[in-house]
Structure 1
């Protein structure tokens, strides 16, 4: 669920000016106030622009549980520059395992649909 109050928190924390936020996002002051109060939900473009203004992920504005899959390796990177300690054959084994799980789920769905 979108949490507009986070924008207000970021404004306070970063000592930003509301005028800079709504100008950068291409919206009015009233629109920004309504977003913060939860009266209106911004469209994707506005959320993206506000996230860019504060240099945060779009996910920062949503109340969601974060699920991290840990397969025992570290991988770091941004786009084309990736490094880590995982080997290609380990990735291929993981992919095969996931394919097997997917096939089993599909089989189970078919069984349940026949009931």
Structure 2
């Protein structure tokens, strides 16, 4: 959920005013106060403008608890949609994808052969 109090905290930490913020993002003072106090959820365009103003990722303003067990393929990739970093290159990722496609093709061939064998055995 969107956490408007984070806006207030950033304003205080950075010594900025609400006037400079609502002028920058093109919203009224009451509109900004309503967002900060959780009266209204902001439009996506305002969230993007807030992130640009404070130079933080858009995700910063949302409180989320994500339990991602994930699958480890030997690479570490981290990101939040705005910035992604890790120790895998695009070419390595493409090679991994091609390898997975080849494995799927082999599995499909094996399944087709097993189905054919089952049909033969059922017809006897």
TM-score grouping bracket, smaller chain normalisation: 0.5 to 0.7
Structure 1 residues 40 and 96: CA distance shift in structure 2, 3 A: farther
Instruction: Structure 1 unaligned segments of length 5 or more: list them.
Output: 101-115
Residue 72 (str. 1) matches residue 74 (str. 2): yes
CA distance in 2, matches of 1:52, 1:68: 31
Q: CA shift at 1:68, angstroms?
A: 7.9
Structure 1 residues 75 and 59: CA distance shift in structure 2, 3 A: closer
Provide the aligned length of Structure 1 versus Structure 2.
Answer: 96
Structure whose CA Rg is larger? 2
What corresponds to 2:35 in structure 1? 35
CA distance in 2, matches of 1:89, 1:7: 43
Q: After superposition, what is the alpha-carbon deviation per residue over 1:14-52, rounded to whole angstroms, capped at 9, x for unaligned?
A: 111111111111001111111100011111111110111
What corresponds to 1:60 in structure 2? 60
CA distance in 1, matches of 2:18, 2:73: 42
What's the Cα RMSD here? 3.3
Question: Taking CA–CA contacts closer than 8 Å with sequence separation of 6 or more, which of the two structures ends up with the larger relative contact order?
Answer: 1
What corresponds to 1:22 in structure 2? 22
Instruction: Structure 2 unaligned segments of length 5 or more: list them.
Output: 108-124
CA distance in 1, matches of 2:101, 2:4: 38
Q: CA shift at 1:72, angstroms?
A: 2.4
CA distance in 1, matches of 2:69, 2:13: 27
